[in-house]
Amino acid sequence: AQSVTQPDIHITVSEGASLELRCNYSYGATPYLFWYVQSPGQGLQLLLKYFSGDTLVQGIKGFEAEFKRSQSSFNLRKPSVHWSDAAEYFCAVGNFGNEKLTFGTGTRLTIIP
């Protein structure tokens, strides 16, 4: 069975600093990987996704993520965070032919001035 681990429950970053949110997955074949963001009181919005090809994926709002098969990781990065990036971030994994996704438990991001 596939699983996703987000080891950081809560991260605090200063505005303008760089950000990396960790995601590790467990799945035998090549996974489909997603990062979603949830602003307070809102639903989830897709930031980016990886299916195949270039392992560095660009997303919306200046985010990127890198797929590292050897480490079973799909970490989310942003070079300079803005106060509006404060939200909860979810990593998810799927696979070909499976209609369902498995979500991590989320990482809450706080931005300090």
Which of 28, 113 has the CB closer to other proteins? Answer: 28
Of 46, 61, 59, 56, nearest to 94 by C-alpha is 46
Which of 17, 60 has the CB closer to other proteins? Answer: 60
3-state secondary structure of 98: coil
- Residues near other proteins (CB under 8 A) are 9, 32, 34, 36, 41-46, 49, 51, 90, 94, 96-101, 103-106
Angstrom CA distances, 94 to 4, 79, 81, stand at: 10, 27, 28
C-alpha to C-alpha distance for 65 and 48, rounded to whole angstroms: 8
Residue with tokens 């994926």: 57
Which of 32, 73 has the CB closer to other proteins? Answer: 32
Residue with tokens 């660009």: 58
For the chain, the helix, strand and coil percentages under 3-state DSSP, each to the nearest 5 = 10, 50, 40
